[in-house]
Amino acid sequence: MDLDLLNTRFDIPGTFLKAAPYGAGHINDTFLGEYDQEGRRVRYVHQRINRKVFPNPVAIMENIHRVVEHLRGKMASRPPLERERRILTLVPARNGASFWTDDGGEIWRTYRFIEGARSLDVPESPRQVYEAARAFAGFQRMLMDLPGPPLGETIPHFHDTPRRLEALRTAISGDLRKRGTDARIEIEFALGRQDLAAGLLRLKEQGRLGERGVHNDTKLNNVLLDERTGEGLCVIDLDTVMPGLGPWDFGDLVRSAANPASEDERDLAQVKVDTTLFEAIARGYLEELGALLSEAERASLVLGAKVITLECGARFLTDHLEGDRYFKVARSGQNLDRCRVQFALLRSFEAQEEDLERIVESCSGAG
Ligand code: ADP
Ligand code: GN1
Ligand code: MG
Domains of the chain: 3-115 (3.30.200.20), 126-366 (3.90.1200.10)
pLDDT of residue 90: 97
CA distance 157 to 154: 9
Neighbouring residues of 69: CB distance < 8 A, sequence distance ≥ 6: none
What is the CA(246)–ligand 3 centre distance, in A? 19
* Protein residue with least CA distance to atom 22, ligand 1: 113
Mean pLDDT over each residue of the chain, to the nearest integer:
96
CA atoms in the 13 A half-sphere facing the CB of 84: 11
Residues in the chain, pLDDT under 70: 366-367
* Protein residue with least CA distance to atom 21, ligand 1: 113
Which of 217, 252, 316 has most ligand 2 atoms within 8 Å of its beta carbon, as the pocket-test mutant? 217
pLDDT of residue 209: 98
Name residues contacting ligand 2 (CB within 6 A): 25-27, 53, 217, 219, 222, 237, 239-240, 252, 263, 312
Name residues contacting ligand 1 (CB within 6 A): 22-23, 25-28, 30, 45, 88, 111, 113-114, 119, 221-222, 224, 236-237, 239
pLDDT of residue 35: 97
CA distance 365 to 361: 8
What is the CA(313)–ligand 1 centre distance, in A? 22
Other C-beta atoms within 10 Å of 116: how many? 11
What is the CA(79)–ligand 2 centre distance, in A? 32
> Looking at the DSSP assignment, which residues form a beta bridge with residue 224?
234
61-77 pLDDT, tens per residue?
A: 999 999 999 999 999 99
Nearest bound ligand to the CA of residue 119: 1
* Protein residue with least CA distance to atom 15, ligand 1: 23
For residue 326, give the amino acid letter: Y
pLDDT of residue 3: 87
What is the CA(24)–ligand 2 centre distance, in A? 10
What is the CA(193)–ligand 1 centre distance, in A? 33
CA distance 278 to 71: 28
Strand boundaries in 193-310, DSSP class E: 212-214, 223-226, 232-235, 242-244
What burial class does residue 6 get, using C-beta atoms within 10 Å of its C-beta: 0-12 exposed, 13-18 middle, 19+ buried? buried
Q: What share of the chain is helix, strand, coil (3-state, %, to 5)?
A: 50, 15, 35
pLDDT of residue 299: 97
pLDDT of residue 5: 82
121-144 pLDDT, tens per residue?
A: 999 999 999 999 999 999 999 999
> Looking at the DSSP assignment, which residues form a beta bridge with residue 20?
32
CA distance 27 to 48: 10
pLDDT of residue 365: 75
